[in-house]
Structure 1
Amino acid sequence: MLRIGVDFGGTKIEAAALLPDGTFLSRHRAPNPGDYVAALTLVRDLIARVEAEARADGSIAEPPPTIGIGSPGSTSPRTGLMRNSNSLYLNGRTFREDLQTVLERPVRLANDANCLALSEAVDGAAEGASSVFGVIIGTGCGGGVVVGQRLLDGANGIAGEWGHMPLPWPGPDEHPGPPCWCGLHGCLETWVSGSGFARDFCATTGRDLKGEAIIDTMRAGDPEAIAAFDRFLSRLGRSLAVVANLFDPDVIVFGGGLSNVGEIYERLPGLIAPYVFSDVWEARLVPARWGDSSGVRGAAYLWG
């Protein structure tokens, strides 16, 4: 059966048609229009395009493909409305139901970090692991939990919402922390996301650089960039130690822009271990095998 996944990102929306073994048959992306009705229309059009291309040679027959959507935020089990999305125009909307109306088909919807975790647990960098924590470190940060290749949503649909925990073991200069878009202060997203990394560097140095530029400057030996990266790794290590103490996953898999920084995997284990309540800690820390394709693949896998 043909599967279609949609990665509904803040800057782009991607749709892909896959065979059951994960082989891509067609994929297309377009800029997120930033408007609710226009975004629904774009999702419909992208799905129609990839489905038509996947069926073009006549080898893929009925039934209709399953459709999974990965998006920022989650659906409230109480109201059915979207919440907690940093694409703010989704919040308060009946997003899944509106997608089903536009598409005239059933839709499964999950958080984008959950889709990353599911993709990597099924046939990615964490394949074969019994427990996986997926981390996205991009413009924001988030997490997803997979046990036995099954996504764990939680009783209230918020399992893995790691980005809106407070920074653990904070120093005097880290409390209460900067304001977060969610209304609280000092959430992990304000510290260990790409935007949080850049904010901290600018606040400390007065230099306004994006995360990638800070990494390049750090590698060139700039002492301020080195210090900023050290702070970032310390905060990320403390944050993941909480995950280790609570969930103790076999594998932590990373996606998002900062997941491409090799120094993270070299240095982070030694920064996590001192905060883990155990005499041994040997979880694997790995970049996502499928990179920025993990979200769309995981969305397609929401149907099992």
Structure 2
Amino acid sequence: MRIGIDLGGTKIEIIALDEDGRTLARRRVATPRGDYAGTLAAVAGLVAAVEGELGRRGTVGVGTPGALSRRSGLIKNANSTCLIGQPLLTDLQGLLGRELRIANDANCFALSEAVDGAAAGADVVFGVILGTGVGGGIVVHGQVLDGANGIAGEWGHNPLPLPGGDDLPLPACYCGRSGCIETYLSGPGMAADHARWSGAALTPEAIVSAAAAGDAACEATLQRYEARLARALAGVINLLDPDVIVLGGGLSNLARLYVNVPQYWGAHVFSDQVDTRLVAAVHGDSSGVRGAAWLWPGKLGSRTQAG
């Protein structure tokens, strides 16, 4: 049995999979925001509950915001800032009494979709999370690409390409820089952009609904969002040339992205044609937690290694 945990900014989810990737158990709880000790306790409680329910012990993989520092072993670059500088791996291993594997949540998402999801069988996969934050993960020939610094795929903290008048002033990012892709393409980024242009404080869900009903200001917000996403993904295509780009996170449910973004990105890709496919995740918001479980190789995951 393989257990995966998705340590998100708003929820913590756990899944238990059998050797064939079938779900044995699944639970979720709200993330104790800003509470590191509470987060540890929530994870340990979920593992104990699932193992008690199923009557057996499993391997545990954890998808987390940010990454483990190669230098210190502490969490870095997490938009759940209470995790930054914390020995998450050491603390969880102590609480659970076993070895764990931890990977960036976007890497887990990409791994899940490359193993048995929307990008199954593709050689090069770029997985994108468009949610509270913006993350990216890379899988090449079934292997998570971690990188020399443990930051491969950290696409959300590159600058937005070709910022123009509609993109200025550059929004400040929690990472200390300004104009990061995340500040434009996250859910809060979309809401902030709409407020900046219209003066109305709306959630992304409300913006999408109003645009569909013919609201001109909300439609303009979505068009700006699509153009920015296209420019940002064109940079990924120029550098990585993936077979498939898979979108996940709450904003990935916006069906028009899969039609409009590929129409925009051709102008920015250094090629006479773009064969990269833009697709929605098959496993939806379960992709991250499933990928965390597959950090331990199994029948499906035997061709994947990550850690």
- Name the TM tier (shorter chain): over 0.9
Q: What is the CA–CA distance in structure 1 between the aligned matches of 2:160 and 2:41, rounded to whole Å?
A: 39
Q: What is the CA–CA distance in structure 1 between the aligned matches of 2:228 and 2:195, rounded to whole Å?
A: 17
Asked if 2 retains the 8 angstrom alpha-carbon contact of 1:137 and 1:257, the reply is: yes
Report what 2:239 is aligned to. Answer: 246
Q: What is the CA–CA distance in structure 2 between the aligned matches of 1:144 and 1:136, rounded to whole Å?
A: 9
Aligned with 1:77: secondary structure? Answer: coil
Report what 1:38 is aligned to. Answer: 38
Asked if 1 retains the 8 angstrom alpha-carbon contact of 2:13 and 2:27, the reply is: yes
Letter of the 1:50 counterpart: V
Please list the CA deviations of residues 90-140 of structure 1 after superposition, one character each: whole Å capped at 9, or x if unmatched. Answer: 000111111101111001001111111000000001101011000000111
State the shift of 1:176 in Å.
5.2
Report what 1:143 is aligned to. Answer: 136
- Report the TM-score, using the length of structure 2 for normalisation: 0.94
From 45, 50, 71, give the equivalent of 1:78: 71
From 270, 273, 294, give the equivalent of 1:301: 294
Aligned with 2:246: secondary structure? Answer: strand
Identity %: 55
Report what 1:105 is aligned to. Answer: 98
Asked if 2 retains the 8 angstrom alpha-carbon contact of 1:254 and 1:286, the reply is: yes
The alignment yields a C-alpha RMSD, in angstroms, of: 1.0
Q: What is the CA–CA distance in structure 2 between the aligned matches of 1:146 and 1:108, rounded to whole Å?
A: 17
The count of aligned residue pairs is: 296
Residue segments in structure 2 that go unaligned for 5+ positions in a row: 298-307
Off by >4 Å, runs of 4+ in structure 1: none
Q: What is the CA–CA distance in structure 2 between the aligned matches of 1:232 and 1:97, rounded to whole Å?
A: 39
Q: What is the CA–CA distance in structure 2 between the aligned matches of 1:51 and 1:142, rounded to whole Å?
A: 30
Asked if 1 retains the 8 angstrom alpha-carbon contact of 2:9 and 2:132, the reply is: no
Report what 1:227 is aligned to. Answer: 220
Report what 1:184 is aligned to. Answer: 177
Q: What is the CA–CA distance in structure 2 between the aligned matches of 1:108 and 1:262, rounded to whole Å?
A: 34
Asked if 1 retains the 8 angstrom alpha-carbon contact of 2:61 and 2:295, the reply is: yes
Q: What is the CA–CA distance in structure 1 between the aligned matches of 2:54 and 2:247, rounded to whole Å?
A: 30
Aligned with 2:294: secondary structure? Answer: helix
Residue segments in structure 1 that go unaligned for 5+ positions in a row: 56-60
- Report the TM-score, using the length of structure 1 for normalisation: 0.95
Asked if 2 retains the 8 angstrom alpha-carbon contact of 1:176 and 1:185, the reply is: no
Report what 1:256 is aligned to. Answer: 249
Asked if 2 retains the 8 angstrom alpha-carbon contact of 1:215 and 1:229, the reply is: yes
Asked if 1 retains the 8 angstrom alpha-carbon contact of 2:184 and 2:193, the reply is: yes
Q: What is the CA–CA distance in structure 1 between the aligned matches of 2:229 and 2:102, rounded to whole Å?
A: 28
Report what 2:23 is aligned to. Answer: 24
Q: What is the CA–CA distance in structure 1 between the aligned matches of 2:50 and 2:88, rounded to whole Å?
A: 21
Aligned with 1:302: secondary structure? Answer: coil
Report what 2:304 is aligned to. Answer: none
